[in-house]
A and B are shown apart, each in its own frame.
Chain A
């Protein structure tokens, strides 16, 4: 059992941070890039996951399980958010027959 070494011993913490930054930036660019609501939701999931990875890396670095419990709660909230988001998407498709976010401009001033 003691033979299992965490990758945090060999990979510097900065590399995990840069990887998370890159994934988060790709998620932000994706939200701005696409007009399909379902892809925008998927890019949100990507951003959630980059933050999760960062929390898990810091948790392993500091040897503190609280970070991984936070990741668990973020996963719970993400699952609830996706359920409601996809329900809104289905309703939107039924009402305006499109998944284009530009159709949702009724609240624009």
Chain B
């Protein structure tokens, strides 16, 4: 059992490194999908079956497909990929490594936690998560639908092309000779003449 944990851990770490290191965005997305699938494997090992299914459906099924779709829509590939300077990249790796060291240092005396409840292997099944979700967390669950609605409206507002305006076109400059100039322009012309 615990060999599977280390196998999934190795897969998720290597694919996470590939996400950062891959030159083409498509390769990054595929590495991230592998990483998410291995994390779903971790959930199954933890007996969190509901989370594993939701993770595969939401992340691998919806979010990553959205990423792939946008990459293909924008036609991104390794030739259009902007890269940072070498010094910035070294600084980024150093910053990440130092952050990891800081977090590890917080663990140097180990985790002093005791199990809060007697062990129960059925905790991640759909039944217990659903009971908790629809009794204790019913209000946040309903509020999250409002969040989704606003996110959907916001995404539509942001991504749609601006419709041609029905208002009269503003005066641009000296290019349109026949058009009537706005009154401010008239005034300055009279002053100069």
Interface set of A (CB-CB < 8 Å, partner B) = 1-2, 4-11, 13-15, 17-19, 21-30, 32-36, 38-39, 41-43, 45-46, 49, 52-53, 56-57, 59-66, 68-69, 71-73, 75-84, 86-91, 93-94, 98-100, 102
Top 7 closest A-B pairs, CB basis? A29-B96, A32-B92, A80-B151, A25-B100, A7-B45, A30-B20, A87-B158
Given that A22-B100, A93-B74, A99-B74 are known contacts, is A82 also in contact with B9, CB under 8 Å in the complex?
no
Question: With the chains together, A63 CA to B82 CA distance in Å?
Answer: 46
The reply to whether B107 and A33 contact each other, CB–CB distance below 8 Å, is no
Question: Which of B34-42, B171-179, B182-190 forms part of the interface with chain A?
Answer: B34-42
Highest count of chain B CB atoms <10 Å: which of A1, A78, A82, A93:
A82
Question: With the chains together, A66 CA to B48 CA distance in Å?
Answer: 12
- How many residue pairs link A and B with beta carbons under 8 A? The number is 254
Question: With the chains together, A43 CA to B35 CA distance in Å?
Answer: 11
B181 on interface, CB distance cutoff 8 Å: no
The reply to whether B148 and A59 contact each other, CB–CB distance below 8 Å, is no
The reply to whether B13 and A42 contact each other, CB–CB distance below 8 Å, is no
B113 on interface, CB distance cutoff 8 Å: yes
Given that A49-B39, A53-B42 are known contacts, is A90 also in contact with B73, CB under 8 Å in the complex?
yes
The residues of B that contact A11 with a CB separation of less than 8 Å are 1-2, 5, 45
Question: With the chains together, A61 CA to B63 CA distance in Å?
Answer: 29
Question: With the chains together, A66 CA to B151 CA distance in Å?
Answer: 25
Given that A7-B46, A99-B82 are known contacts, is A18 also in contact with B107, CB under 8 Å in the complex?
yes
The reply to whether B119 and A9 contact each other, CB–CB distance below 8 Å, is yes
B41 to chain A, nearest CB (A): 10
B11 to chain A, nearest CB (A): 11
Given that A5-B121, A36-B82 are known contacts, is A13 also in contact with B129, CB under 8 Å in the complex?
no
